[in-house]
Amino acid sequence: MLAKILKSLPLFEDPNLLVGFKASSDAAIYKLNAETALIVTLDFFTPIVDEPFWFGQIAAANSLSDVYAMGGRPLLALNIVCFPKNEDFLLLREILRGGAEKVREAGAILAGGHSVDDPEIKYGLSVIGIVHPQRFLTNAGARPGDVLFLTKPLGTGIIATAVKGGLADKSVEKRAISVMAELNKAAAEAMLEAGAHAATDITGFGLLGHALEMAQASKVQLVISASKVPVIKEALEFARLGLVPEGDYENLRFCEKVVEIMPGVDKTRLVLLYDAQTSGGLLVSISREKAPAFYETLLQKGVFEAAQIGYVEAGPPKIVVTP
Ligand code: CO
Ligand code: CO
């Protein structure tokens, strides 16, 4: 529906608009001069955890992530706040404190924001980053012969559902929170150093949804090995019990036709590949030769749960999932 509406809007053309509306990319990129381009993005959502401070951290990490996914460095951030006027303002303070801490960790500057009275709490950031106009990454650069990496484990959507149902204990919840609040900064630095070809961050469409966007934008086929994809192991147990958010089934229906499942793929693991992530890791496409050095750099920078999950082939855009 949204895609249809966007098509009916006037298209803004500008030679300096390097990435805009037309591409299903993570952020817009505008070239200022031969050395510098701006990356512009915004993102906000409703609380996904009970503790306001952690919600602030996660929402900010997610908003900053689109800049990292394109290989940029966040520079400035503005708060986006929807908050009910009769709600306890200490909650808001904690949300903003969590967000501000993440912005600081990213090395960016919080420079203002806007708030509206709204019965439902929502929070996020608008972020401006910079990147060299010839050195940014999009999801359109994957090439046959590349290998694929995922830099964070999947399953936070399923765990959030289990938490809501009162079925996850505190330690599992904490684990999911720390995965979601982790910045994609180190992963982005590693992929730039290693010379990756394409990247995107995993959020609402799940791994397979975002991988499909990469396949379509790059006009290639992605082969993903389900057993190699890093997952939070408790999420597998919850998925086995059927604790799966409705959005995951929507993701499944959305990409079903262009995802080929080979025999022997574990059904529960497959569910995880569709799981919507609030603030997931980067999916990175990089040449096979550069992959070992990339993995080494990821480890050095503390991205310990990253894994090589598949490879890129020539062929009509689609995803093949193997055991
Ligand atoms: Co994104
Ligand atoms: Co986004």
Span from the CA of 161 to the centroid of ligand 1 (angstroms): 22
Quickly state the pLDDT bin for 112 (edges 50, 70, 90): very high
Span from the CA of 66 to the centroid of ligand 2 (angstroms): 6
At residue 172, the pLDDT reads 97
Taking only the tens place, the pLDDT of each residue in 256-279 is 888 999 999 999 999 999 999 999
Span from the CA of 74 to the centroid of ligand 2 (angstroms): 14
Q: Which residues of 30-52 are buried (b: 16+ CB within 10 A; e: fewer)?
A: bbeeeeebbbbbebbbebbbebb
Span from the CA of 201 to the centroid of ligand 1 (angstroms): 5
Span from the CA of 65 to the centroid of ligand 1 (angstroms): 7
Write down the pTM of the prediction. Answer: 0.96
Q: Considering every ligand atom, which ligand is closest to the CA of 201?
A: 1
Span from the CA of 304 to the centroid of ligand 1 (angstroms): 21
Token readout for 217 is 């934008």
Question: Under a CB-based contact definition with an 8 Å cutoff, are residues 251 and 274 in contact?
Answer: yes
Reference 182, options 54, 39, 52; nearest CA is 54
Span from the CA of 69 to the centroid of ligand 1 (angstroms): 7
Span from the CA of 70 to the centroid of ligand 2 (angstroms): 11
Span from the CA of 142 to the centroid of ligand 2 (angstroms): 20
Span from the CA of 44 to the centroid of ligand 2 (angstroms): 9
Residue 128: what are its φ and ψ, rounded to 5°? Answer: -115, 130
Q: Considering every ligand atom, which ligand is closest to the CA of 213?
A: 1
| 137/253 Cα distance (integer angstroms) | 29
pLDDT (average), residues 170-189: 97
At residue 73, the pLDDT reads 97
Span from the CA of 85 to the centroid of ligand 1 (angstroms): 31
Range scoring the smallest mean pLDDT among 20-29, 258-267, 280-289:
20-29
Range scoring the smallest mean pLDDT among 22-26, 80-84, 112-116, 279-283:
22-26
Delineate the domains of the chain, giving CATH numbers in brackets.
2-131 (3.30.1330.10), 146-322 (3.90.650.10)
Beta strand pairing status for 109-117 and 259-261?
unpaired
Span from the CA of 264 to the centroid of ligand 1 (angstroms): 31
Q: Considering every ligand atom, which ligand is closest to the CA of 202?
A: 1
Q: Considering every ligand atom, which ligand is closest to the CA of 280?
A: 1
Quickly state the pLDDT bin for 253 (edges 50, 70, 90): confident
